[in-house]
Amino acid sequence: MDALKLLKQDHDKVKKILSELDETGEKAVKTRTTLFAKLKRELTIHEIIEEEILYPAFEEQAKLKDIVLEGYQEHHVVDLILGELAQLSPDDEKWGAKLSVAKENVEHHIEEEEGDMFKKARQLFDSGELEQLGQRLEARKKEVEKETPEELQETRDEAHEENAA
Ligand SMILES: [Fe+2]
Ligand SMILES: [Fe+2]
C-alpha cells in the first residue's frame, strides 16, 4: 500500500479514539482505561514506524528536512503528555483537561504531516517509491504489533533516544 495512505488510515483511527475519549466523563473509568490503552498502543506503533522508516527516508530530501525535525519533536511532546496521562487516575478532574491537550497536539501534528509533509513527499517521491515505503511500514508494523506493551515501550524509547533527545 502507498505509504501516505497507510499512515492516513492510522491517523483516522487515532483521531476516532481521541474523539471517543474526549466525550467520556470522570465516571467512565473503565471506558477511559480501555480506550486510553488502545490509543497509547496505536500511537506508539505509529511513531515507531514513522521514525524508523518514513522520517529517515524523508530526511534525506532537503525540502523535507525541517518538517521532519519538527515531527520528531512533536512526537516527543505527545509522548510526554500521554506519559503524564498514564500516571493520572481516569477519575481525576485533571484527566479530561490533559486529554484535551493531548488531542489538540496529536491533531495539530497530523495536520502538519498530511498537509505540508505529505504534499511535498508526493512531489519528491514517485508512486513506486511510496508503494515500497508502504510495504516496509506495513511489515514493520506487523512485527511490532506482536510486542507486549513493555517491549513496545523499549522499542519506542530506542527510536526516541536517537531522534528527539
Ligand atoms: Fe507523526
Ligand atoms: Fe503520522
What digits encode the pLDDT tens for the residues 40-98? Answer: 999 999 999 999 999 999 999 999 999 999 999 999 999 999 999 999 999 999 999 99
pLDDT at 165 over 80: no
Secondary structure letter of residue 125 according to DSSP:
S
Ligand having the closest approach to the CA of 72: 1
Place of cell 526516541: 160
What digits encode the pLDDT tens for the residues 3-15? Answer: 999 999 999 999 9
Cell of 141: 508494523
| Residue 18 neighbours by CB distance under 10 Å | 20
Ligand having the closest approach to the CA of 9: 2
Cell of 127: 508512486
pTM of the model: 0.95
Give 136 Cα–ligand 1 centroid separation in angstroms: 16
Q: In the chain, pLDDT over 70 holds for what percent of residues?
A: 99
Give 88 Cα–ligand 2 centroid separation in angstroms: 25
Three-state DSSP at 4 gives helix
Ligand having the closest approach to the CA of 75: 1
Residue 160 pLDDT: 80
Contact 155, 74 (CB under 8 A): no
Terminal Cα distance for the chain, rounded: 31
Of 64, 53, 73, nearest to 6 (Cα)?
53
Give 27 Cα–ligand 1 centroid separation in angstroms: 31
